[in-house]
Structure formats: structure tokens, C-alpha cells
Amino acid sequence: MHWNKTRECMNREELRSYQFAKLKETIDRVYHNVKSYRQKMQERGIIPEDINSLEDLKMLPFTTKQDLRDNYPYDMFAVPLEEIIRIHASSGTTGKPTVVGYTRRDIANWAELVARCLTMGGGQRDSVVQISYGYGLFTGGLGFHYGAEKLGAVVIPTSGGNTRRQVMLMKDLKTEILACTPSYALCIIETLEEMGIKRDELNLKSGIFGAEPWSDNMRKELEEKLGIKALDIYGLSEVIGPGVACECIEQQGLHIFEDFFIPEIIDPVTEEPLPEGEKGELVITTIDKEGLPVIRYRTRDITSLSYEPCACGRTHARIGKLLGRTDDMLIIRGVNVFPSQIESALMATGDAEPHYLIIVDRVDNLDSMEVWVEVSEKLFADEVRKLEHVRKKIASDIYTTLGINVNVKLVEPHTIERSEGKAKRVIDKRTL
């Protein structure tokens, strides 16, 4: 089943011709409207007229998250602010988020992309879709919402949390498609068991899960216990949000929608393009985005790319399941977490030593994070009440920075292992 068969099943020659025409428009747009892009191209001696084929894309400089930080909040926008109708943001290494702006057309295109993803999961005009991604600055909830409405489906905007209520609504309203993080889907399964509700009492047919890494073993568990097809979806705020790529019913990789994005795989060290099938860093260029176009954006995600025809009939390339990242970012319950954010929150208290350890685990099918913090000998020898005050203060500061609750454990000086090289800040016990 296809949402937009004409675009999703274009032959490769037509698709490449379409991509090049849209790429030319995008390069012209960013060169004349975004100072940062123009400066980078001028430094390389490149003007838009030099781009005469898709292969010339590799002449252009990369864009990184740092570029977006350096141009915070609006300097990477390619349209005047009065044309922006939506702002989303993702977390970064400082207190300042990465800001993404959308024009009315960008929102319409985003809805188109998510509608395609929902269709891959069996979604139709009369489908009932429960959206349990968070709503707000995070792109997940609203991205799915607009896509489901474009599909014409019945939308249940539950957002996250209050799981027993979610389960009640899922049963009573006969939810057919569940959209959430895979770990939250496992939490829903546990709640179903606690409430004595069997999978046969539900109307679920499929789930579209993303925002965090998950394994084929987790897929198997979700499919068995919910009686569904579990599909992987990929996206990132800087590019557009969820809907950059999605699995079809064949589950043989995620189709990246090449009429909106040009994917590349590069060696993250040499930055040279890699051939089809080789594992490397995914780089994405948007070719139909007005508010915040990105040219050769380094996602830091490690995967591979395949152009082999898919049995579903779609001709767009497929990326493999993500294998990891080239940076130190953690994804906790769909939230981007950088160790440096934790460090900033710790140092702000004035009571913590510059030694900490982040321990990530999966407890009861949900990601958990514990932060061990060294405190001074004087403070550690102080009364318990003061220690508890400091612990709560650190936990509160981290919550303010990240928006997630973490368990803070205060430890004695020299408890945390020292290193002469790069400090080991993270122990990730999760198994994927």
C-alpha cells in the first residue's frame, strides 16, 4: 500500500532528475539567503552555477549541529521570520537548544512524509491512530499528529505518561496504530498485563516506533505481545523530524524519501563518500525545505545505504538499522542527552567535584539514568540532611536542563575511576 505511489515509486532516472532540479533550487536559496552557507561556499570558491549534477553535491561543505548553534536562533533560516509558522527545538550540549523553523509549506510536506509512514504501517482514512510521543518542542508528537490528520485517520493525542489511562483508551477507542518510543511500548505491555487485558481484546494492527535505538529482539517481543507489525521510523529535528525514513511492511531497511532528501554515507574520519552497502555516517541534504534547509548535514548516525529494489515497489533508497553514533550523545526515552549537559548542571551547584559518572540502564523496559557525583570530603562528612539537600538540588538542576528525572547518587572523593586520557563519563548497560 502506498500513500503517494507516483512519488514513492518513481523510476531511478526520473527520481534523479527530480532531485537535481530541487537541489539546484535549494543551493540557490541558501546561497542568497543564508550568510553562513554563502561564506562557506565562497571559502571553497563555489557559486550555485558550479553545481551541474548530483555528483557535484560532494563539492559542497558539510553542515553540522555546531553550525546551528553558532547561528542561534534564526540566522540559519532561509526565509524572513514572518514566513515561519512553527518552531521546534532539540537539545544540545549547552542550555541553548537547536532551533528549527517551518514555513506553512514545510509543515504540509512534513505531514505528507508522516502520512506515507503511517500508510506503510497499514494506515488508512478510517484508521484509529494513538500518538504517545511527547507533544511540544520535541518534534515527535506534532509531527505524527499532522501526518495522521493528513491521512484522514482518527487521532488520539495521548502524548506520553499516564499509562493505565492510555491502555483504557487504547481498548475502548479501538486503537489500530500505536506511535511511540519502543521502550514506552514495552511499558504499555507491562501495564496491559497488570490490568489483565489480553492482546486479543485490543484492535492493534501495527506500531511505528522511533526516537531511540531498538533491536530486532525488542521488535520480536513487541510483535508477539501486541500482535502487531512493529515498524522503525527515523528522523531528526534538524532535518524535519520523524518521517525522514521509515520501514515498509517488508521490514528490510528504512526507505528514505528521496524526493525530499538526498542521503550519503561518508567515512566519519576522512569525510570521503563510501560506496553502497558500506557502513559509515549518514549525511542528509534537504531539497524541498523552505524554513531551514540543510546541506550535507552530518547526522552522526552510523548506518549503510542500499539502492536495491524493494518488494513493496518503492524505489527510494533504504538505510539499515542505526548502529550507533559518532559523538557522545545518549538518547534517553527519546531525549537527547550529552554528558556536558550533566556536567554543566553539576558545576552550577558549587558543591560537586568535577568528577562524575553516568550509568544508563533499562529497568522495567524503560531507560533509566543514574548520575554518580563526587562531593568534597567536608561535605560528605557533613550531616545527612545537607547531603540530601545537595542531592535534590543537583537532580532538580538536571531535570531543568534535560526535562527528565535522574537518580543522583553522592559518593565520596576518589570513588570514581580516574583516567590519564579521556575520562570515561558513561556506562551504558542497555542491550540492544
Q: Please state, in angstroms and rounded to a whole number, the distance separating the CA atoms of residues 402 and 272.
A: 34
In the chain, the domains with their CATH numbers are 5-327 (3.40.50.12780), 335-428 (3.30.300.30)
Mean pLDDT, the chain, integer: 92
250 versus 412: which is more confidently predicted? 250
Q: What is the pLDDT of residues 209-231, one digit of tens each?
A: 998 878 787 899 899 999 999 99
Nearest to 326 by CA among 274, 283, 275, 293: 283
Mean pLDDT of 80-106: 88
Considering only 5-19, 194-208, 354-368, which range has the smallest mean pLDDT?
Answer: 354-368
pLDDT score for 148: 98
Q: What is the pLDDT of residues 274-328, one digit of tens each?
A: 999 999 999 999 999 999 999 999 999 989 999 999 999 999 999 998 877 777 7
Count CA within 13 A, CB hemisphere, residue 425: 14
Q: Please state, in angstroms and rounded to a whole number, the distance separating the CA atoms of residues 99 and 92.
A: 10
Kindly tell me if the per-residue pLDDT of 423 is higher than 70: no
**Residue/partner pairs of 1-5 with CB below 8 Å, 24 or more apart:** 1/119, 1/120, 1/122, 1/124, 1/249, 2/116, 2/119, 2/313, 2/314, 3/112, 3/115, 3/116, 3/118, 3/119, 3/151, 4/112, 4/116, 5/313
- Enumerate the β-bridge partners of residue 273: 266
8 A C-beta contact, residue 317 and residue 10: no
Phi-psi region of 104 (alpha: psi -120 to 50; beta: other; left: phi over 0): alpha
Mean pLDDT of 5-19: 97
- Enumerate the β-bridge partners of residue 177: 129, 206
Mean pLDDT of 343-369: 82
pLDDT score for 421: 47
pLDDT score for 327: 76
Q: Please state, in angstroms and rounded to a whole number, the distance separating the CA atoms of residues 19 and 288.
A: 9
Q: What are phi and psi of 388, to 5 degrees?
A: -65, -35
Kindly tell me if the per-residue pLDDT of 432 is higher than 90: no
pLDDT score for 94: 54
Kindly tell me if the per-residue pLDDT of 271 is higher than 90: yes
Mean pLDDT of 125-154: 96
Count CA within 13 A, CB hemisphere, residue 52: 2
73 versus 366: which is more confidently predicted? 73
